[in-house]
Structure 1
């Protein structure tokens, strides 16, 4: 089954900006499975898909699924590593300069980890992002 381009030349400028956002996420497992099932449903009955093509697509599906499982395990590993590094900061003295030029310092009382990174809470309640510009020293 041959498929031509899904966009025409008149909508190319509009579609470029929308596809740049989705291209980084790629095709997920469910989308790939839906495409495979749709292809099988819409194949020409007088010229069905070759068995080798079917097996090739099935192997691709399996590869996508294994890659997703690997990504999930890597995410878990990175979370665990972040927690270990955060634990090592508790009780350390840190100093930093904010965007206004003010300099702060204090001892780290706790660390919270979220999707944006790690946030250190100092003993006086000041919150600071753990990252560039933060100086860490022994207490």
Structure 2
């Protein structure tokens, strides 16, 4: 029976290449590869309990479903933010800038960043959409 070592160069290289694809997470394929390697290299006189395998599969399935839910939620939030931004274009906004001056203008465009929505007025002034703005 051929048993490869945990420090075998080919298995280490394949693990390294799969870990560079997914930055600090174990994806479904990597998990299956580890599980198959574990099954191949277990002691035949004292095999692992099948309930442990099923528990590992259930945990992986749960994590994978949570990741899919998160990606769908991100898409939904992005869509909602774009719909809200579209509703701001053409409206008049009033706010107080950092110097204390009162600024009023019509919104020409809205961009969505990681920090939030930024409205650009017709005169080129940019303002973060959030508390302190008055829309009319």
Provide the TM-score with structure 1 as the length reference.
Answer: 0.68
Is residue 29–residue 64 contact of structure 1 (8 Å, CA) maintained in 2?
no
Say if 2:131 is the partner of 1:132.
yes
Provide the TM-score with structure 2 as the length reference.
Answer: 0.70
* 1:135 CA drift (Å): 1.1
Match of 2:34 among 37, 46, 52: 37
Segments of 5+ residues of structure 1 without an aligned counterpart are 1-26
Is residue 120–residue 129 contact of structure 1 (8 Å, CA) maintained in 2?
yes
Runs of 4+ in 1 over 4 A off after TM superposition: none
Moved more, 97-106 or 112-121: 97-106
* 1:69 CA drift (Å): 0.6
Partner of 2:46: 47
Q: Which has the larger Rg? A: 2
SS, match of residue 120 in structure 2: strand
In structure 2, the CA distance between the partners of 1:51 and 1:133, relative to structure 1 (3 Å rule), is: same
Segments of 5+ residues of structure 2 without an aligned counterpart are 1-23
SS, match of residue 27 in structure 2: helix
Q: Distance in 1 between matches of 2:25 and 2:135?
A: 41
Please list, as runs of the form range in 1=range in 2, the aligned pairs for 1:60-139 lying within 5 A after superposition. Answer: 60-137=59-136
* 1:108 CA drift (Å): 0.2
